[in-house]
A and B are shown apart, each in its own frame.
Chain A
Amino acid sequence: MNGPTGLGHSGPVRLDLSGLDTRPAQTWGAMRLVPLVRREPIEDLRLHAGLYDDDPATTVLSDATGCTTYVPHAFVATWSDDGTPVAAYGTQLGRPRRHMPVWTRRRMARHGDKSRLRFLPLHLAVEGFLALHFGGPVIVWEEWSRQAVAHGLSPRAEDAYLGMEIRGLEDALKVFEIHPEQCGLLLYTGDTLAAAFVVPHPEDYRALHPTLVLDLYGELVYDYALFYPARDFRATIDEDAVSSLADLRAEALRQEREWARFHDSVMAGGLIRAPDKVEEIERLGRFTLSRFLPAFERKSENHIGETIIDEEGQLAYLKTFRLSEAQSRRGHLLSTLAEHDWSLPATAAALGTGPAALGLRLERAGFGHLLRQDVLDGYRKARAERLSGRSRRTRPAGAPSPPA
């Protein structure tokens, strides 16, 4: 797998949604879809769904650096250097394809042409998450297995759900009424933010809206979609405050503003504060394609995502993926380990636990293969002894011993 090309700069960064206005949500089943509209669409960067049809010679599998991906659809970003508007290249090809073969591709982001970049939506972000401290231990502490030292975390896998598998998502997207100047969508399931999607131009949005059902979604989104239906936030006007039609109009406007404020600060707050570590991937003229990782705080929203930002920091493209609890936990463990140079005792102390407990926690998180077998066995034995010691104390006298 290729490493990131840019240098990551760490520390909390706020996602800047300025230039995008929140409009009233539309609900369907457990889904709440919040449209984002742009007052001024970005003309010199365009996105469209790329079809891999036109380019059959795609198999590049050289020695060990091959990367096989399932390609639901790809985006092609087109930009101009002098700020003149560009047409969305190839949008006339229409909808993204329904059935996709598996192809091998060399890189996640590739230049299709000099001023066109083709990339797979969300794969940058997911790759960033998978490659998190992928190299493994930086110091060869005795607890780590030979494989961990030699090959790092490889192989590393995470699960996600296809949009079509999420109950009600397809219908919700179908009956959603796209605003004329809409450039983005925030998707909530069970009233937690599931995914965010922003594009530069309303025409791009209309073309890419159906591709949302082909995207990846976290386990949490899948589960929450089975929950209770989302309820509309219905407008309420205080009739005592109204004495003329102008008042009524002002009240109606206030409703919309209040909703937008509530949404931006409360409902989308977790997303705006999500990026913690931003990595620059590619420069596209005055735009920058980058990906971000969250702080992996447990019991809070953790989004990974990718963005295209212009030189003034205006958001042109955004796509996020909500990590499940287990995925956040894994991210949290890996980052804490990396922070303490992969030293088990130091990490355990930072997490407020002992090395044995941390070792077992690593195993539960799916990283058991990183620890030496005998070390792990030692931890298991210690736990078994502790448990049996505790049960011996609590068992009443004369009761039979529990089965092994």
Chain B
Amino acid sequence: MDTYADLIECEDVLLFANAAITSTGQREFHGSAGEQRLSLDFLHRYIQGNYPDLYAATLALDINDHNAALIIANLLKQPGTGDGRLIAWRLARMSPPRVYRLFRELRRAGVNNRRTRAIIRDWLAGRPDLAFDAVKYRSAVKSAVRHAHLTLTGELGDFLFAPFSRTRYDTPVLEAWRRAHYDKSALYDLPYTVAEGFAARHGISRPIFLERVAPRLTGLERLRLAESAGAAGVATGADLAAMPLVRLASYVLSLAADVRTRRRAELVGALRASAARAAGARAGTWGSVAAVLDDSFSSFGSPVKRRRPLAVALACNYLLEALAGAYRGLWVSRRTDPLQARASGHTPLGQRILDALDTRPGMLVIVSDGWDNAPPGLAAEVLRVWRRKLDPGGEVGIVHMNPVYDADTFDVRRLSPMVPTAGIRDAEDLPALVELARFAEGRTGLAELRAYLADRAAR
């Protein structure tokens, strides 16, 4: 078996994985943004200082983009650490604005070693349409090109650094940008965020603008604008079922109760379709599953992460429904209609866990921020007694999924040492996280964890 140091290492890495999955350095229900950032910053330094190789390897996990960007920046600051290919792989999966923000961060920090320049160069070369990026993220692309000492050939260089030196561009999007300065019809060939600025400049009314720009909207823009454009009488044609599960859940939760009732069939259909897509081949293979889902007031999150913990719970509800053969979802508030979920009331988590264990499901998933307060600590006691006395063989697999990073403990809040706790950000990661939670139980050791990370990185 492992040595004591190995156990600590295993624990530290899991702790860091949980933090890197959940924390975004934003305000949470119980902690301010400053506390979150301070705590996260310490954790990054601690892990990088003690386990440099594992620190780099966590990039392979489903950590969130905020932490991935932090890790990449920290790795590039120290030459010779981390795997360039893994970094490139992770960058390719991040959203372009985040990558550009990371490049700016590197520029601000004065990180300009050869590897950094090569990574920026390769990433820009891999962009499907750099001219489009140059229009949409103009200053960011300019800053990245400058920082990596790149020489752009042809029109693009002129567009970024001397835009009015040419009387016309051959690239359509660049030409559209040039013409949009004086031609109202040209701006509809530009990306929405850029066109919006030109529309304001030309004094185009919002409904007309939205109607004509609608075909150019991206999927997320369609979803984001659905309500405001709907008020202006324009349908953006958002494809709800194609949305990622948690984002769709957030959208559903942002709607008023009567709207949700009116659009019930559409919303539930979209949630089920998205869940079925996320479940994929695993659909219906998990046997009997019960879930305890936290919709107490603290699941509201914060004004900057509106209803995020509740959205994760709602998404897990539909995903588990798709994964399980027989599914029972228990909301902490005892409301029975998941579509009408809202963040209010106290957290009698212990009672609801008892209710869930009543039917002895094959598996119990608890989605909660871990602030069990009615009474405090009952959930921990119920789980402890259940594991010690009523189910010592562990026939009922219990996993706690926590969407909130607790800055004070440098981890997600745990319910009980008897039950593994994993941080969760996107419901789609749930199957992988249940896998990862095995390591937290202490039954599998460091060697397996390293193998798991290597396996993930190889994919």
Q: Which residues of the other chain, B, contact A108 by a CB distance below 8 angstroms?
A: none
Contact B375 A24 (CB under 8 A): yes
Bound form: Cα–Cα A306–B148 in Å: 72
26 contacts between A and B (CB under 8 A): A23-B374, A26-B346, A26-B376, A35-B346, A175-B30, A177-B347, A177-B373, A178-B344, A178-B345, A179-B346, A180-B333, A232-B376, A232-B377, A233-B376, A235-B375, A235-B377, A235-B381, A237-B381, A237-B385, A239-B384, A239-B389, A242-B385, A242-B390, A245-B358, A245-B390, A259-B375
Contact B375 A256 (CB under 8 A): yes
Q: Which residues of the other chain, B, contact A239 by a CB distance below 8 angstroms?
A: 384-385, 388-389
Bound form: Cα–Cα A232–B376 in Å: 7
Q: Which residues of the other chain, B, contact A259 by a CB distance below 8 angstroms?
A: 375
Closest approach, in angstroms, between the C-beta of A34 and any C-beta of chain B? 11
When the two chains form the complex, which single residue of A27, A35, A235 contacts B378, counting CB atoms closer than 8 Å? A235
Contact A242 B389 (CB under 8 A): yes
Contact of A92 with B by CB under 8 A: no
Give the residues from 231 to 249 in chain A that come closer than 8 angstroms, CB to CB, to chain B: 232-237, 239, 242-245, 248-249
Closest to B358 in A: A245
When the two chains form the complex, which single residue of B298, B378, B388 contacts A252, counting CB atoms closer than 8 Å? B378
Contact A234 B390 (CB under 8 A): no
Q: How many of chain B's residues touch chain A, expressed as a range? A: 20 to 34
If A24-B373, A232-B376 touch, whether A178 touches B297 (CB-CB below 8 Å) is yes
Bound form: Cα–Cα A248–B354 in Å: 8
If A175-B29, A177-B298, A180-B333 touch, whether A248 touches B385 (CB-CB below 8 Å) is yes
Contact of B351 with A by CB under 8 A: yes
Mask, A197-232, CB within 8 Å of B = 1, is 000000000000000000000000000000000001
Contact A255 B347 (CB under 8 A): no
Bound form: Cα–Cα A24–B403 in Å: 25
Contact of B350 with A by CB under 8 A: yes
Closest approach, in angstroms, between the C-beta of A174 and any C-beta of chain B? 9
Contact of B209 with A by CB under 8 A: no
If A24-B374, A235-B381 touch, whether A252 touches B350 (CB-CB below 8 Å) is yes
Closest approach, in angstroms, between the C-beta of A33 and any C-beta of chain B? 10
Q: Which residues of the other chain, B, contact A23 by a CB distance below 8 angstroms?
A: 346, 374
Q: Which 5 A-B pairs have the closest CB atoms?
A: A234-B377, A24-B375, A232-B376, A235-B378, A177-B297
Closest approach, in angstroms, between the C-beta of A252 and any C-beta of chain B? 6
Q: Which residues of the other chain, B, contact A256 by a CB distance below 8 angstroms?
A: 375
Binding site for B on A (CB under 8 A): 23-27, 35, 175, 177-180, 232-237, 239, 242-245, 248-249, 251-252, 255-256, 259
Q: Which residues of the other chain, A, contact B298 by a CB distance below 8 angstroms?
A: 175, 177
If A23-B374, A175-B298, A245-B390 touch, whether A236 touches B345 (CB-CB below 8 Å) is no
Contact A177 B382 (CB under 8 A): no
Contact of B64 with A by CB under 8 A: no
Q: Which residues of the other chain, A, contact B346 by a CB distance below 8 angstroms?
A: 23, 26, 35, 177-179
Bound form: Cα–Cα A248–B297 in Å: 27
Q: Which residues of the other chain, A, contact B30 by a CB distance below 8 angstroms?
A: 175
Bound form: Cα–Cα A179–B30 in Å: 18
Q: Which residues of the other chain, A, contact B385 by a CB distance below 8 angstroms?
A: 237, 239, 242, 248, 251
Closest approach, in angstroms, between the C-beta of B408 and any C-beta of chain A? 12
Closest to B390 in A: A245
Bound form: Cα–Cα A244–B388 in Å: 12
Bound form: Cα–Cα A234–B379 in Å: 10
Bound form: Cα–Cα A378–B386 in Å: 76
Contact of B368 with A by CB under 8 A: no
Q: A177-B298, A245-B354 are in contact. List 4 more A-B contacts (CB 8 A).
A: A178-B297, A248-B354, A248-B390, A252-B351
Q: Which residues of the other chain, B, contact A35 by a CB distance below 8 angstroms?
A: 346
Bound form: Cα–Cα A177–B332 in Å: 13
Bound form: Cα–Cα A233–B350 in Å: 15
Contact B373 A245 (CB under 8 A): no
If A177-B347, A180-B345, A248-B354 touch, whether A26 touches B373 (CB-CB below 8 Å) is yes
Give the residues from 286 to 307 in chain B that come closer than 8 angstroms, CB to CB, to chain A: 296-298
Closest to B333 in A: A180
Contact A248 B382 (CB under 8 A): yes
Closest approach, in angstroms, between the C-beta of B416 and any C-beta of chain A? 12
When the two chains form the complex, which single residue of B344, B373, B378, B384 contacts A255, counting CB atoms closer than 8 Å? B378
Bound form: Cα–Cα A237–B380 in Å: 10
Bound form: Cα–Cα A25–B377 in Å: 12
Closest to B30 in A: A175
Closest approach, in angstroms, between the C-beta of A169 and any C-beta of chain B? 16
Contact B354 A255 (CB under 8 A): no
Contact of B357 with A by CB under 8 A: yes
Contact A248 B386 (CB under 8 A): yes
Closest approach, in angstroms, between the C-beta of B180 and any C-beta of chain A? 44
Bound form: Cα–Cα A26–B375 in Å: 8
Q: Which residues of the other chain, A, contact B345 by a CB distance below 8 angstroms?
A: 177-180
